[in-house]
Amino acid sequence: MTMGRVAALGERTRVAGLALAGAVVLVADGTEAVRRAWRDLPDGIDLVILTPAAAKALGPDPAAPGPRRPLTAVMPP
């Protein structure tokens, strides 16, 4: 069994430190940047940790627009 990869998506100040834990860090400021990063997620990502702002930019069901459905978790404010 292989372990999936984790990504962190959102503002640099909120996600940068997660690189130390091995997460793929996707810095995105603003709605369009977040949506673009989500659309272009690297292959093999099974969990995306979202900042509250990134979650808001993606809407209530971020996995709905595309065929890929990674698990998501939203950081506390």
Question: Model confidence over 3-35: pLDDT tens digits?
Answer: 689 999 999 999 999 999 999 999 999 999 999
For residues 45 and 70, is the Cβ–Cβ distance under 8 A?
yes
CA atoms within 13 A on the CB side of 29: 5
33 alpha carbon, distance to own chain's centre = 11
**Does the pLDDT at position 61 exceed 80?**
no
For the entire predicted model, the pTM comes to: 0.87
The total of structural domains in the chain comes to 1
Domain residues for the domain of 45 are 5-74
**Does the pLDDT at position 1 exceed 60?**
no
Q: Which residue has the higher pLDDT, 73 or 2?
A: 73
**Does the pLDDT at position 68 exceed 80?**
no
Show the tokens assigned to 54: 């990134």
Tell me, what CATH number does 38's domain have? 3.40.50.10580
- Burial profile 22-59: b = 16 or more Cβ within 10 angstroms, e = fewer: ebbbbebeeeebbbebbeebeeebeebbbbebbbebbe
